[in-house]
Amino acid sequence: MASSSSTSSIKKSYQYDVFLSFRGEDTRKNFVDHLYEALHRHGIHTFKDDERLKQGEGINNQLLKAIENSKLFIIVFSKKYASSSWCLNELVKIMECQKSNDQIAYPVFYDVDPSDVRKQHGPVGEALAKHTNKDIRKWREALTEASNLSGWDLEKTADG
């Protein structure tokens, strides 16, 4: 009896089109709010922590689930991004998802040089140096990986 084989690719269905990773202190009330509103206006379902986190549930678990359930990631690197262990843990998860799934990460460099993120120099290096925890190695690797992706350096884009 002849066997027939069929190949079918099963595409994952995502809850969010985009997950925004950013340091609120640097970018929430300016760049990120404008970006979020522009995406929303165009019908792009976007996860932004202050808009989507559910009261009474663990923040870290919600963030990790939202990352897993997002098709694209926009990582807004800023001077204080690396000062937040939350941001760095998000970044590690984002880079894991990018490597193992069909999810795509896009870095945006807001008021920070891409090479400072890549090499952890300048304000990024200063922010990272304040951490004294065991996760520092994987955070450094994730920063380097993400900064090597094609993205946008806002200082070199139109009027920033």
Would you please indicate which residues are annotated as catalytic (active-site) residues?
A: 90
91: left (phi over 0), alpha (psi -120 to 50) or beta: alpha
150: left (phi over 0), alpha (psi -120 to 50) or beta: beta
Which residue is listed with tokens 């807004």? Answer: 76
**Measured between alpha carbons, how far is 87 from 91 in angstroms, rounded to an integer?**
6
**Measured between alpha carbons, how far is 53 from 76 in angstroms, rounded to an integer?**
19
Which of 148, 112, 146, 109 is closest to 127 using CA atoms? 112
